[in-house]
Amino acid sequence: MTIVRLSCAVNNYHWGKPGLSSKAAQFAATNPDVTIDPTQTYAELWMGTHPSGPSKVYGTDTKLSTLIEKDPTGALGASVEREFGPRLPFLFKVLSIETALSIQAHPDKALAERLHRERPAVYRDDNHKPEMSIALTQFTAMSGFRPLEQVAGFLDAYREFRALVPRSADEFGEIVSASSSAGEGEKKAALRRLFAELMGASSDDVAAQLDRLVKRISQPKGGHSSPVVDELVLRLSTEYPGDVGVFCVFMLNVLQLSPGEAFYMGPNDPHAYLFGDCIECMATSDNVVRAGLTPKMRDVDVLVGMLTYDFGTPHSKLLEPTAFAHGTSGRSVVYDPPIDEFAVACTRLLPDQEETVEPLQGPQIVIVVQGSGRLTSSGGADDSSFDVHPGCVYFVYPGTGYTLRAVADSKDSGGQGQQLVTYAAFCLA
């Protein structure tokens, strides 16, 4: 085999978008066995071998994991199998978010091993979980700590925020002031104390201060000069009333991404997805440490203790794509985070254009997110050819090249020729 079409699982978490407003639902609907309920939420489309949502060979009950187990070297490549064992080292997803996900971070490998050893019922594996997200629509998230001067400014401008951190607010302001000679280590320590006090505030105090804040900024001229922050506070407080996570907008960067923009979340890096649709790729793990904007278990002490407390601008969180060396026509880019488990290539083709992707020595999963065309394999033991359209997903074996060609009659809503757009997660250990 060279290329295998997959059918992929979609889930209905409460935070998903309803019906066909969800990209996850739109893509899942390409499977004739899936019926989309307009009253149901659709949150994630999973592409991979995770047992909670395993992909299957299209039209069959055969799991992708079964193909890999039968021939791990052939399905993964010798170097990937040697580095990660006989399993796919990444999980590829489409996320559609209507209601914010939790304030969270993922442990590094050493912490994951310790948490799994000490509390296996909560932390069910010993792997790290670095993640990368690429916007499919306008996408809002929080990631990493803001520049410290911004945090200090919010302490001055939002008295309700300051009221929750009375022990650390003044010291923090002094350490990050322009006249301070504090080094980066001292600044990070002050940031940690501030964040710890906020996340440890009593639920009654949080609810009272959030109620005061919402009432104040809802009034004409009642807010600060940051409409993005005020609007986000109002939105999040509606979704999670009385939740301390709402105050994290004053400490974490708010990212507003356009389609094709990406950011990377390394180990011990705080983040939260807030709204929109995205492609996500991650190392295969379930380890999540949560502390806000969630009805699930919160592990505040672990979260506070694990973070690096790196800080910077929103732009510093973005991952810029570069030219994809394996695309022969120059119409593909790659998002390549600083880890070994995965990278993601994106190909964009106008009608009648084509791109040939050279054979890689590791596995790939390809999803079509826009447009129509043809996918033809080359270089493998046999040739395969598929008509492609949004929601089609394929597993590409190592050593298999392929050519994508956009059809000329694919039109967008304005009657113009529509691009064929694909994303391909791969591993080259």
Do residues 99 and 77 touch, judged by C-beta distance below 8 A? no
Both tokens of 295, joined, read 């009805």
Measured CA to CA, the distance from residue 23 to residue 172 in angstroms comes to 42
Q: Please, are residues 148 and 193 in contact by the beta-carbon 8 Å criterion?
A: no
Catalytic one of 193, 290, 331, 348 = 290
Residue with tokens 């906020």: 198
Q: Which of 250, 198, 195, 243 is nearest to 226 (CA)?
A: 250
DSSP string, 383-396: --EEEE-TT-EEEE
| Angstrom distance (rounded) from CA 417 to CA 115 | 52
What DSSP line would sit under 240-254, residue for residue? STT-GGGGGGGTEEE
Per-residue tokens: 221:
């001229």
Asked about 162 being catalytic, the answer comes back as no
Say if CB 205 and CB 160 are below 8 A apart.
Answer: no
Name the residue type at position 364: Q
Amino acid symbol at 135: A
Structure token pair of residue 376: 């033809």
* Active site positions, annotated: 290
